[in-house]
Amino acid sequence: MAGESGKLQVFWYPHSQPSRAVVIFCRMNKIEYEEVHISIPTGAHKTPEYLNINPMGQVPAINDNGFSLFESAAILKYLSASRGTPDHWYPKDLKLRARVDCFLDWHISNTRRGASGLVYNQVVAALVGDSLNPKAAAEGKALLVKSLGILDDFWCKEGPFLCGAEEVSIADLVISCELTQLKMLDDSEESELLAPWKNVTKWFQAVKAATNPVFDEVHGKFYASNNQLKEAKLKATTEQS
């Protein structure tokens, strides 16, 4: 999977929330790079060629002229430093940076684990030939609700961005792409999960305002195929009733 004359390659799949965060970052910062679509449904993430880039067989990953890296937060930090992106994305100030690091680590065990546990076990599993798992989905939902409470009451409290930052950072990017994944649930459940949190709602609007039109462009394929899935499901339900 050699890139065009050493150009940075970003391996991604639009339905992967951390993939979207990395692609938004690259596009917003006009980083010179090549997008490589890794089709999860056809198993492109399990080919020997791709496992050579990311032995975990997950997206996103990058290949920067022979240096391969995975884990979205690590990629975003590496790109911030190696491409010298504006400071607000990953501040050099030690305390501001520590807060971003702290949030991103907290996110992995809380919002990420909760949201992905819910969405995978309630929706995605059936699409990839795995079994739905209502108990695991319920556990994910409980963790997600608890995490959203902390997000509202702590991380988003000061605003406008996470940790009271004045400008958008990689922390905002990572979690906002995680929360858009809730669109895979029924509309009523997505709304039931997100609507109660006033600080989260305000913060989410601020992130979209700061990152659009790129945010919506990068989410385009995900939104479109997700809407198709929902329409097909509705049709099937209507035909059955």
Q: Which residues bind a second copy (CB under 8 A)?
A: 55-56, 67, 69-71, 73-75, 77-78, 81-82, 94-95, 97-99, 101-102, 104-106, 108-109, 113, 150, 154
The four Cα atoms 50, 21, 193, 58 give a dihedral, to 10 degrees, of 10
Smallest distance from a second copy to CB 69, Å = 5
Smallest distance from a second copy to CB 205, Å = 24
Q: How far apart are CA 137 and CA 129, in angstroms?
A: 16
Smallest distance from a second copy to CB 201, Å = 21
Smallest distance from a second copy to CB 240, Å = 33
Q: Which lies closer to a second copy via its Cβ, residue 105 or residue 216?
A: 105
Q: Which lies closer to a second copy via its Cβ, residue 106 or residue 120?
A: 106
Smallest distance from a second copy to CB 90, Å = 11
Q: Which lies closer to a second copy via its Cβ, residue 67 or residue 223?
A: 67
What does the DSSP assignment read for the chain? Answer: ---GGG-EEEEE-TT-HHHHHHHHHHHHTT--EEEEE--TTTTGGGSHHHHHH-TT--S-EEEETTEEEESHHHHHHHHHHHTT--GGGS-SSHHHHHHHHHHHHHHIIIIIHHHHHHHIIIIIHHHTTPPP-HHHHHHHHHHHHHHHHHIIIIITTS-SSGGG-SS--HHHHHHHHHHHGGGGS-HHHHHHHHTT-HHHHHHHHHHHHHHTTHHHHHHHHHHHHHHHHHHHHHHHHHHH-
Smallest distance from a second copy to CB 153, Å = 8
Q: Which lies closer to a second copy via its Cβ, residue 94 or residue 128?
A: 94
Q: Which lies closer to a second copy via its Cβ, residue 68 or residue 201?
A: 68
Q: Which lies closer to a second copy via its Cβ, residue 59 or residue 75?
A: 75
Q: Which lies closer to a second copy via its Cβ, residue 150 or residue 224?
A: 150
Residue 3: alpha-carbon gap to chain centroid: 24
**How is residue 66 written in tokens?**
């022979």
Smallest distance from a second copy to CB 103, Å = 8
